[in-house]
Structures are given as structure tokens and as C-alpha cells.
Chain A
Amino acid sequence: EAQVTQNPRYLITVTGKKLTVTCSQNMNHEYMSWYRQDPGLGLRQIYYSMNVEVTDKGDVPEGYKVSRKEKRNFPLILESPSPNQTSLYFCASSQRVGTGSNGYTFGSGTRLTVV
């Protein structure tokens, strides 16, 4: 089944403890992206990657890191999490982006709580 898999689904952590949220897709998509979803703020893009070893900042990259060493994986790293990073996170991938895009496939989400 074509899918984007995120892990973990739920995570509670303490301020300052480094964590990684994994994202993997099995569709051979070149494009991958991370979003956070907060009440009243909609979906905001954190980072995206157009291909292996090519990443770029989205609208809210502060406090996050990403890497794209292989096409299928795009982990999101929080080096020193803070309570304002408590959110619902989504990974997405796409075969084609920009004008003529065929849309994104989203993961099921990771609900992160930082205390």
C-alpha cells in the first residue's frame, strides 16, 4: 500500500531533550515536507526537500532540523524542544509539485507534547 509512515504517533517529552520524528514513504517520491498544525493557525510548513541532499526552510523552521540522506526518509529533529513546539506534526510527500502538481500524500501525524 502506498503510504507515508510517521513514528511515533504520540510523544511526550521534557524541555531540552533531543528527539527525532521519523518519516518514510514507499512511493519513490522526490518531494517531502513537514508541517505543524495548531488550532487557529492552520497548517504551517517547517521544512521541505526537493530531492536527496536538497532541503530548504518553510515558514516556521526555527528550532527544527531535517536531513534527506536517502529518498524514502525525511526525519524531523528537535535538538532542544521547548513547550511552544507542542503541536500536531505531519509529514507529506509528492511525485510532482508546483503548477501541475498531483497533490500530497500525508502521514497520520505525530502529536508531540513538550513539558
Chain B
Amino acid sequence: GDSVTQMEGPVTLSEEACLTINCTYTATGYPSLFWYVQYPGEGLQLLLKATKADDKGSNKGFEATYRKETTSFHLEKGSVQVSDSAVYFCALSGTNAGKSTFGDGTTLTVKP
């Protein structure tokens, strides 16, 4: 079945550092790929998405590129802020329309 593997956390960075959170997936066909963010005490929010190979999703300075050849969708940001501290989930939506598959989440803490 479908699966998502994302980089284990927690990740701690200083403000203005570069961020990469790795995500790889296993799925048949061409799934849609997503990154969600969960701030403390809140629900998940869709951060960005990509629906086909080589698409780049971007939002709030975050980017991720759909790489079919490496089955990856790594999340990147050039300069993180304290306000980016949250849990980040990689997810896919594939041929089984009723189910989305989520990674285990990566906790990011950004220190001033």
C-alpha cells in the first residue's frame, strides 16, 4: 500500500538558518503530495501541495518539488523564523480516494 517516510525529529535550528525536512513516498501512479503544518494546540493546516511530477509547491517561504524519479517531496526554507516552530507532516493522496497517507511528523523548533 501507500506509505510516507519523513525525516525523524526533533529538529532544532537557529533563526535565519536553512531548513530541509526530507520526505519520500511509495505509491502507485501519480499521487498528489502535500505538506501540512500543525502549530501548538491547533489542527493541521495545508502548507503547500503538488499534483504532478516536477511541480513546485510554495507558500510562506517554504518550497517543495515533486520528484518522481526519486519519489521525494522534501520541504525547504531558506531562512527560518521563530514563528515557524511547529510540527510538519508530509502526506499523499493516491489511487485509493478515501484515504490519505501521512508521515509521522517532524517537530521543528527555531531558537532566537
Chain A residues within CB distance 8 Å of chain B = 4, 31, 33, 40, 42-43, 45, 48, 50, 56, 58-59, 90, 92, 97-109
CB of B99 within 8 A of CB of A58, answer yes
Asked if B102 is an interface residue, CB under 8 A from chain A, the answer is yes
Q: Select B89's contact among A33, A40, A43, A99, beta carbons within 8 Å.
A: A43
Knowing A48-B99, A98-B93, A98-B94, say if A103 contacts B34 (CB, 8 Å). Answer: yes
What's the Cα separation between A102 and B93 when bound, in Å? 9
CB of A108 within 8 A of CB of B43, answer yes
Asked if B74 is an interface residue, CB under 8 A from chain A, the answer is no
CB of B89 within 8 A of CB of A97, answer no
Looking at chain B, what size class is its interface with the partner chain?
20 to 34
Asked if B22 is an interface residue, CB under 8 A from chain A, the answer is no
Q: Is the interface of B mostly helix, strand, loop or mixed?
A: loop
What's the Cα separation between A69 and B31 when bound, in Å? 30
CB of B100 within 8 A of CB of A101, answer yes
CB of A100 within 8 A of CB of B98, answer no
What's the Cα separation between A53 and B11 when bound, in Å? 43
Asked if B29 is an interface residue, CB under 8 A from chain A, the answer is yes
Q: Select A98's contact among B46, B95, B104, B105, beta carbons within 8 Å.
A: B95
Within residues 10 to 44 of chain B, which ones have a CB less than 8 A from any CB in chain A? 29-32, 34, 36, 42-44
CB of A42 within 8 A of CB of B103, answer yes
CB of A100 within 8 A of CB of B32, answer yes
Q: Which chain A positions have C-beta within 8 A of B42?
A: 108-109
CB of A107 within 8 A of CB of B30, answer no
CB of B105 within 8 A of CB of A42, answer yes
Q: Which chain A positions have C-beta within 8 A of B97?
A: 50, 97-98
